[in-house]
Each structure stands twice: as C-alpha cells, then as structure tokens.
Amino acid sequence: MSHLILQSPVLVPDIIEKIAAIVQADGVQELGPTAVRILNADASETSTVQALCASNRIDFAFLDRIQLLRDCKILAMDMDSTLINIECIDEIADMAGRKAQVAAITEAAMRGEITDFSDSLTQRVALLEGVPASALEQVYDERLRLNPGAERLISTAKQHGLKTLLVSGGFTFFTERMKSRLGLDACHANVLEVNNGLLTGKVVGTIVDSKGKASHLQDLAKQLNATPEQIITVGDGANDLDMMALSHYSVAYRAKPVVQQQARYALNVSPLDAIINWFRLSH
C-alpha cells in the first residue's frame, strides 16, 4: 500500500473524500491548508486518481513510504521557467526586439521538437549579437522573479543537509546571482561572450545541454555517494530529462507534455515547496 499526497491552492473536502474512497484508504491526515496525506492508498487506481486530480486542479503523488528529507542528499534544479518565472534568453532578445524569433526556438526546444539543444541555443544566442551587456542586468532587475515556493524549498533542503545544485541551459550571469541570493552549493550554465560591452552572439566554452546537466548531477552524486532514491530533480523542459532520469524524485514543474509523461511526479498547480510535503522533516 502507498501513501497518497494531494495538494492544491483550494482543496475541496468532497473531492478528497471521493479520492480516499476510490483508493480504499485507511484515513486522511491534514498536512496544512493546501495538503493532505491519504493513508494506505491502493496505487493500482493511479489512472482514476490522475483524471480526477486533473479535472479538479489537484497535484498528487503516490509514495511507497514517506522518508525523512534528511535521508536525501541532493536537490538539483533547472533555472529558467523552473526556479524562476522567465526564459532569460527570450527576455534578453526582447530588449533587441527579437523576442518572437528567439521564443519560438526556445519553445520548440523545450517541447523536445528540436532534439539538438546545443544547436538551438547557438541559433538563439546568434540572434543576440549586438545587444548591450547591460540588458542582462535589466532583465535580472525588471523581469526575473523566483517562482512561488522556491526560497522555502531551497532553505528547507539546506537545513536538512541536502546539497543544492542549479544546472541550466541558460547563462552564468543569472545562475551566479541565484547562487549568492539563495546560498546554492553549485551552479553550471553557459557563458555569453561579451566584447566592448556588447554581446557577440556566441557562447564561450562547452554548451551545457541535456547531457551536460546530467553529467554535472552524476559528478555530484558520485562525490556524495548518492543513490537515485536520495536525489530530487526539478525541471520543465526536454533538456531536463537526462538529469531527471537519474533521480527517484523527478518532478515536472509546470512542464511540457514530454516531461510530464516521463517524470515520476508533477506540480501543475502547487508551489515548488509542495515537494517538502512528500517527506518527513523529523522522526
């Protein structure tokens, strides 16, 4: 038997009771105003639960057991549209009036329609040629916001001894600021080339693509001797899938369909810190 966690900004008691009856639960435990734990649920009813949850804007997670958060070792996250609310490259392009062109390529890459991420990034960065480097600061100050629950998820993970890793197909200008702002342990992203205060339209060094993200996570897992059951990964686009495949707790956050299909868990309506409710914080 499994535990079933249901979370939503608005949990309707009738729906919770209906789901509890479908999974033949032993009881319902309140975890707070937006979350409940359904005890000893029959996981064979997953498809019925999924349909009910989708139509009632509820996030669900079947868990074989509720483990201690401190038994995990790594929280690895994507940045753009996962940790933060924007795709930085699209907003930089907007400063040069080229957002539509760049965003179309970004969207296709995230949906998995462009399978070569490096190629898609090279195409998009080329469209940034001549943009003042000061546009990056402007995007950071005026448009970049942390997604709801991001700060609490990271601070809680850190309190419980997890190493926090940010792996992004975006740019170091933003990941380094996230690192200092949130106290992250490690960040990996792409370096934009700047010459005379202008972007050259090129990336310096090796591009952090899907395999690059996975490789950075593998390195950290090796260092910490972390098993997949001790790794939480969060992403939204196709280039997060290799990284997510390395963890038991793979979370699709407001994700593209290809990611929803392959991740073990999804947060479509709840904030990022909803992940905390899948774990025990103390004995």
Please give the full DSSP string across 42-64, using - where no structure is assigned: -GGGHHHHHHHHHHTT-EEEEES
Beta bridge partners of 61: 5
Domain with CATH 3.40.50.1000 in the chain: 67-85+146-283
Q: What is the pLDDT of residues 157-170, one digit of tens each?
A: 999 999 999 999 99
Confidence of residue 231 (pLDDT cuts 50, 70, 90): very high
How far apart, in Å, are the Cα atoms of 75 and each of 15, 146, 194, 259?
Answer: 32, 16, 32, 18
pLDDT at 78: 98
> How high is the pLDDT of residue 112?
85
Q: Does the pLDDT of residue 258 top 90, yes or no? A: yes
Q: Write down the architecture of domain 67-85+146-283 according to CATH.
A: 3-Layer(aba) Sandwich (3.40)
Element (H, E) at 172: helix 172-182
pLDDT of residue 114: 81
Nearest to 252 by CA among 168, 262, 217, 276: 262
Catalytic residue chosen out of the listed positions 59, 78, 240, 273:
78
Question: Where in the chain are all domains bearing CATH 3.30.70.260?
Answer: 1-66
The reply to whether 80 belongs to the active site is yes
Structural class in CATH, domain 1-66:
alpha beta
Closest CA to 265 of 9, 2, 63: 63
* Both structure tokens of 129: 């040629």
The catalytic position among 80, 209, 236, 273 is 80
Average pLDDT over all residues of the chain: 96
Distances (CA, A) of 220 to 50, 68, 142, 267: 33, 21, 33, 25
42 annotated active-site: no
pLDDT at position 196: 97
Residue 199: CB partners within 8 Å, gap ≥ 6? 92, 125, 128, 129, 130, 131, 132, 133, 135, 192, 193
Q: What is the pLDDT of residue 110?
A: 84
The CA distance from 220 to 231, in Å, is 10
In the structure encoding, which two tokens stand for residue 193, read together?
């080339």
Taking the C-alpha atoms of 278, 69, 247 and 77 in order, what is their torsion angle to the nearest 10 degrees? 90
Task: Supply φ then ψ for residue 105, to 5 degrees.
Answer: -70, -40
What band does 12 get if pLDDT is binned at 50, 70 and 90?
Answer: very high
DSSP states of 84-150: BSS-HHHHHHHHTT-HHHHHHHHHHHHHTSS--HHHHHHHHHHTTTT-BTHHHHHHHHHT--BPTTH
